[in-house]
Amino acid sequence: MDTSQDILVIILSTALAVLLVLAIAIAVLVVKLLQTVKRITQKAEHVIENAEHVTEAFSHASGPLALFKIVRNVAEMVSKHKK
């Protein structure tokens, strides 16, 4: 091999080694980012489930509350009529 070929091989092998190290570092960062995104989505799903339970509880309570409001309105009408 000529001296210029030796220099070119050294330069290319060094560049390849640097790019390999960078690729490994980027892959590690991407895996960490994906884990963080996964945790965030799990928390968001948990919040949505809790919100669904709350709305379900309100919908079940709305029937008795509506009946209570009707009774209260009738009582108010009767008390106003007596005065």
Ranges under pLDDT 70 in the chain: 1, 60-62, 64-65, 81-83
Q: What percent of the chain has pLDDT over 70?
A: 84
Whether pTM > 0.85 for this model: the answer is no
Whole-number pLDDT of residue 83:
59
Both structure tokens of 83:
């005065």
Mean pLDDT of the chain: 87
Residue in the block written with tokens 């640097």? 18
- E strand or H helix at 79, and its extent? helix 3-82
pLDDT (tens digit per residue) in 30-53: 999 999 999 999 999 988 888 888
Give the pair of three-digit tokens for residue 73.
Answer: 């309105």
Residue with tokens 């220099």: 7
